[in-house]
Amino acid sequence: MQMLLEFLPLAAFFLAYRFAGGIYPATATLMAAMVLSLAVLWARRRRPPAMFTLSTVLVLAFGTLTLLLRDARFIQWKPSIFLWLLALAFLGSVFMGRETLAQRVLQPALGKARLQRSDWLKLNTAWVLYGLVTGAANLLVAYHASESAWVSMKLWGLTGSMFLFLLGQVLWLQLTGRLRE
């Protein structure tokens, strides 16, 4: 249910872009959908996911700038800023606390399987690199492709790359035998 609530604003953005007349109605739709999803997540758990909360704050800030200044570049920057902040958080976690951010995020999904610190550091480094590269790729598309191409890349490219990245991590863990209990 949580994944659906986190994905619905992106789908609403894409549909509003296609059927409601462009980037400005889509941005307003995204802002409203993010707030609504965050409210539902908060009502269900009394503690919304930190990454989704950060994403919502960024959408509201960059969306407001987009609408007030009538400049789509602000909403186009949002994914890059989010991904770079995420990369910075993963990088910082290596130096703060006992566990990396990768371990804090992924350990519950792995169940009883336990990884060595060196494995967590590899996964954490992969997240840092993913955030940096994907954030840069977002800006490349935003500045060198049409607005419509950027919207499609935001929906399919960023979502697809995240899915493939997570799948790659799981495959790496399985193929190297690191998921043994």
Please state, in angstroms and rounded to a whole number, the distance separating the CA atoms of residues 11 and 80: 19
Q: pLDDT of 65-77, one tens digit each?
A: 999 999 999 999 9
Please state, in angstroms and rounded to a whole number, the distance separating the CA atoms of residues 88 and 129: 10
Q: For residue 134, what are the contacts with CB-CB under 8 A and spacing of at least 6?
A: 79, 83, 158, 161
Q: pLDDT of 88-147, one tens digit each?
A: 999 999 999 889 999 998 888 777 777 888 999 999 999 999 999 999 999 999 999 999
Which one-letter DSSP state was computed for residue 178? T
Q: For residue 43, what are the contacts with CB-CB under 8 A and spacing of at least 6?
A: none
pLDDT exceeding 70 applies to what percent of the chain? 98
Q: What pLDDT, on the 0 to 100 scale, is given for residue 49? A: 85
Helix, coil or strand: residue 47: coil
Name which of 86, 177, 173 is nearest 122 in CA terms.
173
**Ranges of each domain in the chain:** 1-71, 73-181
Please state, in angstroms and rounded to a whole number, the distance separating the CA atoms of residues 63 and 49: 20
Number of C-beta neighbours around residue 18 at 10 A = 13
Q: What pLDDT, on the 0 to 100 scale, is given for residue 56? A: 95
Average pLDDT, the chain: 92
Please state, in angstroms and rounded to a whole number, the distance separating the CA atoms of residues 86 and 130: 10
Q: Identity (one letter) of the amino acid at 133? A: V
Does 181 score more than 80 pLDDT? no
Does 178 score more than 80 pLDDT? no
